[in-house]
Structure 1
């Protein structure tokens, strides 16, 4: 469901009703007369829909985390806010950038339109920038031939299924975060698709090595063995970017997680 398009259509309809009422019919109504239904249920909603549309399109948009691909940073059920203007101002619905502000940086947690189905929004961490060579071999991450700094920390307990994953503190760019690996999961990528610029990637028994094309980004989930990401479906084009995730504002199962994400 394209909620942005639905909101835009509602904005246009209620805006037309609001304008017609203000410019013509309100002047003809007696002061004490009751507003007709089309005004009460149509035009009167225009200011509210306008505020929601502007906030959601240009400032902040809420998302709910649907899967465990970003564990331990983000958990299933986290409600997050996404900054829509960090990477530039975009026209709503068509998502075309009209004002350039910043570019995604390594380590950012970014929401984007899934390349295989742009009607879906995905969230992953930015690992590779345009021009980077990203290698994920035997579960070790290197960028442009330099190993990403990691440090082993205590294992992570998945409470919903009661098993442990190896946990590492990793530094991507200026961002420190935790990532998970499952010791018994294979290193190779079993389900790589045929995606644009696939010739930039080399797959082997140890994993994958990719050269990121210009105007694209290489994304990975923090739950490395339970995330289908750029290793499988390829690069995220710049035009698919939605915004930068920056804040957990609600989790019904764990109120203590509010504000814990950075």
Structure 2
């Protein structure tokens, strides 16, 4: 089951904020009156803090709202408009990102968006070819995907013989290594997409025609592909990503933690190319 954490966070912030406001407007004044009456009846015009709490106890729901609302509000603002953490669940972006990598995503790279709705309210920047992008899967927006942006609106993307062509121009590839050197199964390749150079894998066992095709990217949409080129469920198979489903640009790995019973590895901290 997939939980929409953004929606849960928004609802929790609203509920605790409402609880704090209701107490502030309707219950706190009566507590102040009780305390003021008790202070007036005392010999020196004041009473200890513990006596104030006994005289006008704070309801549990009000105490909870007061404590949690500021924390939730800060988390909501940071997560919605600044950065958000994600964990890599699959190998579709190998060798760039490994299963168990924890990444951070810049939420304002492509404009400030309302949480949950994804509506852009402040245009800041535009996606660029070669960006590693987190987005909501078009066929199930409750699921987050991460891929490399290959096609911009209006581009003609062709994929044949394991080479990407953008508007008829082949994107440069340079062989780095054969893995393993004997009985090779995977090729490690340097690929250039626009101004971005990155590493990618191709599977020598996969047909050169695998995933081949030609696509014209509609306005307001993007074409995404994984760096593990022959082992990626991407736009070649399910189509384009609308702009409103973009979450942000992945820019750094801050931890690697593949399994719950393994130790987190912070030595892998690096930028994402």
| TM exceeding 0.5 | yes
Among candidates 169, 179, 187, match of residue 208 of structure 2: 187
Instruction: Name the counterpart of 2:270.
Output: 259
Residue 233 in structure 1 maps to residue 244 in structure 2: no
For the residue of structure 2 that corresponds to 1:239, the secondary structure is helix
Equivalents in 1 of 2:108, 2:271: separation in Å?
22
Shift of 1:239: 1.2
Moved more, 32-41 or 165-174: 32-41
For the residue of structure 1 that corresponds to 2:148, the secondary structure is strand
Name the larger-Rg structure: 2
Unaligned runs of 5+ in 1: 158-162, 191-206
Conserved? CA contact 2:179–2:185, under 8 Å? yes
Conserved? CA contact 2:96–2:199, under 8 Å? yes
Equivalent pairs counted in the alignment come to: 241
Structure 1 pair 44/187, CA: closer, same or farther in 2 (3 Å)? same
Equivalents in 2 of 1:155, 1:69: separation in Å?
19
Instruction: Name the counterpart of 2:39.
Output: none
Equivalents in 2 of 1:234, 1:167: separation in Å?
26
Moved more, 144-153 or 30-39: 30-39
Conserved? CA contact 1:134–1:142, under 8 Å? yes
| Superposition TM-score, scaled by structure 1 size | 0.87
Structure 1 pair 97/213, CA: closer, same or farther in 2 (3 Å)? same
Shift of 1:222: 0.1
Shift of 1:242: 0.8
Shift of 1:260: 4.3
Unaligned runs of 5+ in 2: 36-48, 258-263
RMSD: 1.7
Among candidates 3, 27, 49, match of residue 72 of structure 2: 49
| Superposition TM-score, scaled by structure 2 size | 0.84
For residues 134-145 of structure 1, the aligned pairs below 5 Å read 134-145=157-168
Moved more, 25-34 or 148-157: 25-34
Equivalents in 2 of 1:164, 1:55: separation in Å?
43
Shift of 1:228: 0.7
Shift of 1:138: 1.3
Equivalents in 2 of 1:10, 1:141: separation in Å?
45
Conserved? CA contact 1:18–1:44, under 8 Å? no
For the residue of structure 2 that corresponds to 1:257, the secondary structure is coil
Equivalents in 2 of 1:23, 1:165: separation in Å?
66
Instruction: Name the counterpart of 1:21.
Output: 23
